[in-house]
Amino acid sequence: MNTFSAIVLLLAGVVALLAGIGVLRFSTSYARLHAAGKASPIAFIIASVGAALDLGWAGAGLLGIAVFAMTLTLPVGVHLLFRAVHRTGDNSHLAIDELAPAERYGSQHPLR
């Protein structure tokens, strides 16, 4: 393993550690999901770049496919988790709740 790829992999570990600390320390479930949904894929992408630097072109192609799949599916998954938290949790702390009309009127509402 060369030095540059090791530094990139350590950077990915630091970003993943910060995401874990955010999940543990943030007070609302929205903030925790934001930390997990944003920082962990960034750490994965940085780690993929570090591994691709070490493995060469063959590894870079496979890791590119994995990064593409993750960046394609993760926003949808995090969005669905946010909706589930909104439906089941207490939302009195929100200053603006744009999903409240959709929850109130059911599936006939245009926001749904």
pTM assigned to the model:
0.70
- Which tens digit of pLDDT belongs to each residue from 11-57? 999 999 998 998 899 888 778 888 888 888 888 888 888 888 888 77
Q: Is the pLDDT of residue 90 over 90?
A: no
Residue 103's pLDDT is what? 64
The set of residues, in sequence order, having a beta carbon less than 8 Å from that of 101 and lying 6+ positions away, is 109, 111
Neighbours of 46 (CB within 10 A): 19
Name the average pLDDT for the chain. 80
Q: Is the pLDDT of residue 109 over 70?
A: no
